[in-house]
Amino acid sequence: MRNLVLLMFAFTISTLVSAQDLNCYERLESAFKERGSYTVSDDIHRNVIIVFFEDDEPFCVKGKARVENGTVSSIFIYYDDNTSEMYDKKLLNQRRQAPTISNGISEMIYTSDNEKLKVVFVEKIKPKRKRFKEAEIPDDF
């Protein structure tokens, strides 16, 4: 049992250290892979993260997205004053179709201006799994 506790502690420390080295998208992607996602319904989702990939380096901004028929149909970008503006570009996947969503993250989206981006539906991530609380054993036990 002690080995299990030590293993869990080591895993937690390594996860925290490695999370500091990840960029904004890698942290999101890692969390979704680990925890999974609820289904993204057709609606306007007001709390998403839009990840732009410039020279394959991600840049994350807050936004909202409209989902229709299980695909991302439009996105809006939030500004510092909490206003939003529609990102008025055609959104297509690599096959020149509407981008689908898998495990809470859209597939890569391409625009007519050769921009690449993904939409992350952060409110759809499943909660963290409960972990055992480590017992505190007095030194004189």
Q: Is 93 exposed, middle or buried (0-12, 13-18, 19+ CB in 10 A)?
A: middle
> Residue 47: its pLDDT value, please?
96
> Residue 80: its pLDDT value, please?
95
> Residue 20: its pLDDT value, please?
60
Q: Are 35 and 127 in contact (CB under 8 A)?
A: yes
Break the chain into its structural domains and give their ranges.
32-124
Q: What is the CATH number of domain 32-124?
A: 2.30.29
In order along its 141 residues, the chain shows pLDDT tens digits of 443 333 344 344 444 444 467 899 999 999 999 999 999 999 999 999 999 999 879 999 999 999 999 999 999 999 999 899 999 999 999 999 999 999 999 999 999 898 999 999 999 999 998 888 888 888 887
Specify whether the backbone of 108 is left (phi greater than 0), alpha (psi in -120 to 50) or beta.
beta
Q: Are 96 and 84 in contact (CB under 8 A)?
A: no
Q: Are 29 and 108 in contact (CB under 8 A)?
A: no
